[in-house]
Structures are given as C-alpha cells and as structure tokens.
Amino acid sequence: MTEMVFGTAPIRAGDPILPRWWRTLDKWSLACVMGLFAVGILLGLAASVPLAEKNGLPRFYYVQRQAVFGGLALVTMLVISTLPPRQIRRIGVLGFAAAFVLLLLLPFIGQDYGKGATRWLSIAGISLQPSEFLKPGFVAICAWFMASAQAVGGPAGKTYSFVVAVVVVVLLALQPDFGQASLVLFAWLVMFFVAGAPMLFLMIVTGMALGAGAFAYGASEHFARRINGFLSPDIDPRTQIGYATKAIQDGGFFGVGVGEGSVKWSLPDAHTDFIIAVAAEEYGTVMVLLVIALYCTIVVRSLLRLLRERDPFTRIAGAGLACAFGVQALINMGVAVRLLPAKGMTLPFVSYGGSSVIASGIAAGMLLALTRTRPQGELADILRRGR
C-alpha cells in the first residue's frame, strides 16, 4: 500500500547492498559517532590509568577493554544500520523482551558493586546492566504500538505503550535508578508527542512524574540524599561534584595539558560518569564544546531527516532514539557542571563501560538505519506522480 501511494525508490537490478547502504546513509552522523568513540579512547588513556594502578592491573588495561567493547559496538552499529525498518522493529521487540526478563531478575541475582543500587548482573565474570539494553528496545516496541494505533481499526496502541512505560519506569525506580527511569519516561513523552498526543494528556503525565518524584524524595534515602546535595548552596570539595567542579574551573579554555590533570586521581568515577570533567581539565572548554557539537550534530541531523519520513513507525522510533541519545549526554554533562542532581549515567560512546558502549552502538545503529534516505517516503515523489 505504501508503494502504491508514495511510489518506490529506483533500485537498479542487481544493485549491491553495501553501495546502496552507503548512498542512503547519513554520513555526517556516522562520522560524529566515530569521533565520539575516538574522544572516549583518548580520554580513557588518562582517566582509567589511576583505576588500573589502584587495582594492580596494567596501566592501559581498561583502555584496551574499552577498545575491544567499542570495536564490537561499532561493528554491531554498522550491521544494524543496513537493515530496513521492519527488521529494526523486530530486533527491537526481541531485544526489549530479553532485557525486560533480565531486569526482572535483578532483585534476585543482581549486584550493586557498592553503589547503593542493584543495577548489574554478573555473567561469566562480565558485568551487564540490563537497563542499558532495554532503552533501544523500549523505543522500538512503544513506537510499534503507537504506529499501529494510527491504522484504520488499529489496536489501542497508545494505551499499550503507556502501560509498558509505567511498568518499565517502576522497575527502574525500584533498583533504584531514577536517572534511567527519567530518560525512559522522556523518550516515551517525545514519541507520544510525535504520534499526535493531546497536550493535556502530556501535561497530566508530566504532573504524575513530578508527583512520583516528590514521593520518591520522601521514601528513598538514596534519592533524597542526591537531591539535597544538589540543592545545597555549598559544595563539599571532597565529593565527586566538588572534585569535578574544581577540575572544570582549573581547565579554563585550553586545559592544563595532556596527562597533567589531577582530578582523575581523586574521582572514583572519572572514567565513567565524570569523564567530561577529565576532558575539561586536561583539554579545556575547547574539548567540551567539540563533544557537545558532535552530539548536537547527530540529534539535529537525525530529526531533520526524519521530517521527510511518511512511515509512522520510522518517524516515531527515530525521534525517540535521537532525543534519548541527546538527553542522556545532556544529563551526564549537566551533572558534572552541577546543573542537575547526580544520576549515575554514562556519556554515550565516551564513558568507559561494556554495557554502555555496546547498547549505544545498538541504539546508534537503529537510528542510522531509520534515518537512511528513502525516496519512496518523500514529498517529491508524490509531486512527480501527480505531473
């Protein structure tokens, strides 16, 4: 039916998959992802050395692991980016089901690794964070439900997606992982808005989220401690926020010099949650602005390309993935400069972490696949058919 209405893209007989993929791919977004990964390796050379020495490991042990995980993530990203939207939907739904089961197992066999939240599974000596893999699958299944609701006589897909969002947010909050819960809820709100949700309903959901936050503040000591620390006018210089703030101030515009920073020796999460503080101290504001520009380019270009899409699933899922990607980066950097409460959220493709970088590769691959040029969905083809 779509081909009958919008026309089909001209595909030459025997046209190979890879040349067709390369012609239709958003090369600027791909280059920005590669740039972020390169920045992550560069910062890891400085940020992870203190941790390796503390644990009695070779100096670049964590950098080598990040390179391996990153290589796997990039290969996964490139493979997924060659798939059509229908295959993206299938992979997303299956991935969501698998990650959701692992999320249910966390209260029984999960690990907290001394961080006060049960977010990880230890499988064959490898730490796995199910919530990282849940996000791209969550976007895919909710976009599928919302898109199906737009069909004539379709199911109540928006209601189904709302139920899924509530269940996932509650499970994440129980870990507790309020950062990931907030990110999932934000992605759902973006997709619901793109799918044509009434503003009144969005305002009601936002109010419910604020009410849930107020309840969590009174019921969770972990949550209240982070909020109180954020609202306090004084910064304890011995806390992670204190070290990060000083590092950013000391870095200035051009930084103190490669390898000359000191914050990496004080911050326990310098290689993960606060890696942007290492970048600001050693490379200065220039590096931070470069990282911000890379994220902004990916998000803006993806949204602009999605404006031309006629397929509801592609448009809704792509918007959810792009906005979740950008907001996760915004939250991570906002915490480092004390614009947001501490969330324990990684910087996609830059922070150290196997689960984080591989899940980011999956999400980026899905986004690249959904933003590929599809002439059959563009208005120009409709106009040509009307001549």
In this prediction, residue 379 carries a pLDDT of 45
Pick from 323, 332, 320, 322: nearest CA to 356? 332
- Write out the two tokens for 145: 């439900």
In this prediction, residue 194 carries a pLDDT of 93
- Write out the two tokens for 160: 């189904």
Tens place of pLDDT for every residue, the chain, 387 residues? Answer: 444 344 444 445 456 788 889 999 999 999 999 999 999 999 988 888 888 888 888 988 999 999 999 999 999 999 999 999 999 999 999 999 999 999 999 888 888 776 667 788 877 667 788 999 999 999 999 999 999 988 877 788 999 999 999 999 999 988 888 889 999 999 999 999 999 877 787 788 888 888 877 877 777 776 777 777 666 666 666 677 888 888 888 888 888 888 788 888 877 778 888 899 999 999 999 999 999 999 999 999 999 999 988 899 999 999 999 999 999 999 999 988 888 887 778 899 999 888 899 999 999 999 999 999 876 544 444 445 545
How far is the CA of 38 from the CAs of 31, 44, 45, 227, in angstroms?
10, 10, 11, 34
Q: Which residue has the tokens 């996000």?
A: 135
In this prediction, residue 175 carries a pLDDT of 84
201 in helix, strand or coil? helix
- Write out the two tokens for 68: 């391996």
In this prediction, residue 302 carries a pLDDT of 97
- Write out the two tokens for 124: 């064959």
Helix (H) or strand (E) segment spanning residue 165: helix 157-173
Prediction pTM value: 0.88
- Write out the two tokens for 304: 């602009």
Looking at residue 168, its amino acid is: V
176-180 long-range contacts (CB < 8 A, ≥24 apart) are 176/117, 176/216, 176/220, 176/222, 176/223, 177/117, 177/119, 177/131, 177/344, 178/213, 178/216, 178/223, 178/343, 179/331, 179/343, 179/344, 179/345, 180/131, 180/135, 180/345
In this prediction, residue 262 carries a pLDDT of 80
Rg, C-alpha atoms of the chain: 22
In this prediction, residue 128 carries a pLDDT of 85
In this prediction, residue 116 carries a pLDDT of 66
In this prediction, residue 67 carries a pLDDT of 93
- CA–CA separation, 199 vs 278, rounded Å? 41
Pick from 123, 47, 125, 144: nearest CA to 366? 144
Looking at residue 229, its amino acid is: G
In this prediction, residue 12 carries a pLDDT of 52
- CA–CA separation, 343 vs 179, rounded Å? 5
148 neighbors 136 (Cβ within 8 angstroms): no
